[in-house]
Structure 1
Amino acid sequence: MMHTHHPLVGRALAGPHARVNMRPVEDCARFILRIDPQNLAAASTIWGGNLPPTTGGLVSASGRIATCIGPDEWYLIAPLAEQDAIESAFGELYATTIHSLVDVGHREVGITVEGPEAVLALQATIAFDIAAMPVGSGCRTIIDKAQIILLRQGPDSFRIEVWHSFADHVWNLLAGICREIELGV
């Protein structure tokens, strides 16, 4: 659960004419799922929707987001109220299917980066071509020295999932870049 000591509580970088807007993502349930891709159908049934079968794939429905971040690894996001039910359902799956579901909600923080210059802001900190990242995809990458999961939810809409301990650093780095964009530097 998001607590008042959370590094991003109360922060927002937005304005009526801002070219990039940033805000913390509401607290949610977050999991890392490791499972043999041959058993993806069983995991999808438990999840309540199709899990993307290929690395980089992203599926979003009913407040849940799933992205494949490796050959046998998925990053799952769901409303906080659904956390116990998800854990229970995957717990029952252990009886028939080898897998690992790890709650990472305590370590991750979400940041939304949106606006007509969102690609430019992220490109200033990430080594691969952000503009070439397809809408509806996700990947694990690095901002400065912090590992993140980057989700492209729309042409000008991104979600960053970053470890709690790096959230302040990532926020401040992007806020500085957004200020430079605003100033035309």
Structure 2
Amino acid sequence: MTSQKHDFAAAAIRIEDVAPTLRLSLRVKPAHRETLGRALGLDLPTRVGTRAAANGTEALCLGPDEWLIVAPEGTDPAAPARAAYAQAPHSLVDISDREITLRLSGPAVLDVLASCCPRNIAAMPVGSAVRTVFDSATVILWRDGPTDFRMDIWRSFVPHVCALLAQVQDEVMADL
């Protein structure tokens, strides 16, 4: 995918494609979480919505036994996890091709996101991430800064989400 920047009306929100990354869906019983975390080289967070990072790899807790692992493309965090399988049985599935990530930033980003998302986006702490919906599309929303977000979107929903972002951007700018 080519990197694109879409500067909408006076940069109220900037939308950029993020370079492809390795995405792994991890399921492991809580009793084996620490062992597998050591194998992956990071502490797997225990509270839903919290993140951990080490050596360019991020882990997001999506449920009591479910994590999303994001790593730079070309790395293989699955190799040490395979080696730990006997001590920590788990499911680790590559879902990299399923999703596209957009970076959303700018002074109107909270308004734009809140327009199609039932969560209180402003209350999300910086450094957190959540699985939620944007209109009818299931997304993962990462808050990287006060007005800096990443949104992981299933590939088939990207045109729909981008069209909504553009429409809402126009509406927000009309209200300013």
Paired with 2:69 and 2:106, the residues of 1 have a C-alpha distance of 25
Pick closer, same or farther for the CA change 1:12–1:167 going to 2, 3 Å: same
Q: Given the alignment, which residue of 48, 53, 74 partners 1:55?
A: 48
- 1:183 Cα deviation from its structure 2 partner: 3.1
**Superimposed CA distance per residue, residues 24-76 of structure 1 (whole angstroms, 9 cap, x where no aligned partner):** 11001001111112222112212222221111101234322211011110011
* Partner residue in 2 for 1:140: 131
1:122 aligned counterpart, secondary structure: helix
**Is 2:112 aligned against 1:109?**
no
Structure 1 residues 126, 15: CA separation in 2 closer, same or farther (over 3 Å shift)? closer
Contact persistence 1:110–1:161 (CA under 8 A): yes
CA distance in 2, matches of 1:61, 1:17: 36
Q: Amino acid of the residue matched to residue 14 of structure 2?
A: N
2:153 to 150, 155, 162: 162
**Matched residue type, 2:20:** D
| Higher relative strand content | 2
- Answer yes or no: is the 8 Å Cα contact 2:3–2:18 preserved in 1: no
| Residue of structure 1 equivalent to 2:68 | 75
Question: Separation in 1 of the partners of 2:64 and 2:152?
Answer: 19
Amino acid in structure 2 at the alignment position of 1:58 = R
Identity of aligned residues (%): 35
Please list the CA deviations of residues 71-101 of structure 1 after superposition, one character each: whole Å capped at 9, or x if unmatched: 110011100021xx21211111212211110
Q: CA deviation at 1:10?
A: 4.6
The alignment of Structure 1 onto Structure 2 pairs a total of residues equal to 176
Q: Does 1:93 find its partner at 2:89?
A: no
1:25-64 matches, cutoff 5 A: 25-64=18-57
Q: How far apart, CA to CA, are the structure 2 residues paired with 1:89 and 1:102?
A: 14
Q: Which runs of 5+ in 1 are unaligned?
A: 3-8
- Give the Cα–Cα distance (whole angstroms) in 2 for the partners of residues 108 and 117 of structure 1: 24
CA contact (8 A) 1:18 1:182 kept: no
Q: Is the 8 A contact 1:13 1:175 kept in 2?
A: no
Over the aligned positions, Cα root-mean-square deviation in angstroms equals: 1.8
Match of 1:5 in 2: none
**Hey, what does 1:122 align to over in structure 2?**
113
Gap regions ≥5 residues in structure 2: none
Contact 2:23 2:95 (C-alpha < 8 Å) held by counterparts: yes
TM superposition score normalised by structure 1: 0.88
Question: What is the CA-CA distance between 1:154 and the residue it aligns to?
Answer: 1.1
Structure 2 CA distance for aligned equivalents of residues 11 and 169 of structure 1: 17
Give the CA deviation at 1:15. Answer: 6.3
